Structure 1
């Protein structure tokens, strides 16, 4: 990582110790990402970010460690960004904090361009009895755009002809007040 070449050996050693202290082992594929995330932050800022994750997501120290070890870039997110995702996932989607900690990739997706539109589309399908199986929200959120449409939008073209148009509008920030049937 060329950007790390510009900092002192002592700072690198401190960053390595910090990353290991967060629960990301040196042999992990995420280690270099975690190192990049903390290398230019002071210990106070890292502590503040960890405390914010605990508060916003109601996570224990262990859950913060799990989440950061799987998605170290969480440490680079703004408090406001994390807070909005927390409020949406916990209080609107009703996901358990531990569920989110084990699937922190959800926190790296766009709230307005991916999470909200997909949630509303699936909620519409569930409320109208159109889903044959109950997919986890992690599956809903992690699928590529093409796979999501193939699994959740296209099979319902006849029953909900406006679903794709409403979903596309929602992805552009034009969230319709209701997904429509006619």
Structure 2
């Protein structure tokens, strides 16, 4: 264990640490200073990126670095993940795992994050590890918990965008939350937005206000759940992307007003890529013989999986129709919007004896348990 004083010297986006004795660096001893400790081999292997990043960190011996690497390895991080973390935050090699890292992992575990959650979050955002647990991470978690109601909801939100734990909530989040409240959005709607699309609530105030005004101009009622969905959808695309998706719908004969009606009903129809829009429309119109205007009535169909929902479920109904077990005039889009349990009860299990052979094929195709 090393006990000496370091003096930090900042160089732009990184710092070196000065000690009174001769220092080693990755430039002179790359394999010594960046050893990856393996339980099955004595070979040391770090990516060139991690070695390059470590050139911004100097230390006397590799002992501290080895402790950090061993700490991550013992907590389920792979070699690739450790390398990624070191590459993005080299000074981490100089930290004391028991004093600065362990408490943060224990906090996340206590709040309900799984081990795999923690690995994913810290690999994606290693700069969380340099933030104060007491002064930043815990207050931020508690702030969002007050909005979302439970630890569980907050965990879900952090999984989706861990940077909310390091945002300046007073200047980046509170003004946007207040704007939503001023426009009549219920607390449940605000909770939905932060839980499902946490990045949106950290949008620059000016841009966020523009988005809210744009959604209001579309005539979407702030009291409806679709309002915050629309805010999120618009936040996720620029004007040119919006126009390309509008044009994708227009290619199927839909008018601008119809497209806006569909968006107002279910903004998720604009979360799909242009390719997805075209493929779903092609399936519904050309393969199933339905009218393109169906999307105005049921825009949620666009967000459904072709491979796991639309195509296999249509095949089920067509098969049962061929056996005379489902009426020929059955309105297929209704079935598409069933949850799977309801679809099985109303369409498949109702005809279990007559179609037992097909049921087995269906279970295998959909990976449905016996």
Please report the TM-score for the alignment, with normalisation by the length of structure 2: 0.43
Q: Report if aligned partners of 1:23, 1:66 keep a CA contact under 8 Å in 2.
A: no
Post-superposition shift, 1:7?
A: 2.2
State the superposition RMSD in angstroms.
2.1
Out of 238, 247, 254, the residue aligned to residue 42 of structure 1 is 238
**In the alignment, does 2:221 pair up with 1:25?**
yes
1:4 corresponds to 2:203: no
Q: Distance in 1 between matches of 2:359 and 2:229?
A: 36
* Runs of 4+ with >4 A deviation: none
Query: Can you list the C-alpha shifts for 1:60-90, whole angstroms capped at 9, x where unaligned?
Result: 1121112111111222211111111111011
Q: Which has the larger Rg?
A: 2
2:292 is matched with which residue: 93, 97, 104? 97
Cα 1:132–1:85, aligned 2, differ >3 Å: closer, same or farther? closer
Residues 113, 170 of structure 1: 8 Å contact kept: no
**1:127-162 deviations in Å (ceiling 9; x for gaps):** 221125843212211112121111111222232221
Match for residue 248 of structure 2 among 39, 47, 52: 52
Structure 2 unaligned regions, length at least 5:
1-193
The residue number in structure 2 matching 1:128 is 323
CA distance, structure 1, for counterparts of residue 217 and residue 315 of structure 2 = 38
Q: Which stretch of the first structure deviates more once superposed, 46-55 or 17-26?
A: 17-26
> Is the aligned partner of 1:16 residue 2:212?
yes
Q: Which has the higher contact order (CA 8 A, sep 6+)?
A: 1
Bigger drift between 71-80 and 4-13 goes to: 4-13
Unaligned runs of 5+ in 1: 173-182
CA–CA separation in structure 1 for the residues paired with 2:288 and 2:304: 15
Q: Per-residue deviation at 1:53?
A: 2.3
Of 356, 365, 369, which aligns to 1:161? 356
Q: Does structure 1 residue 142 correspond to structure 2 residue 340?
A: no
Deviation, structure 1 residue 97: 1.3
Q: Distance in 1 between matches of 2:347 and 2:312?
A: 12
Counterpart in 2 of 1:116?
311
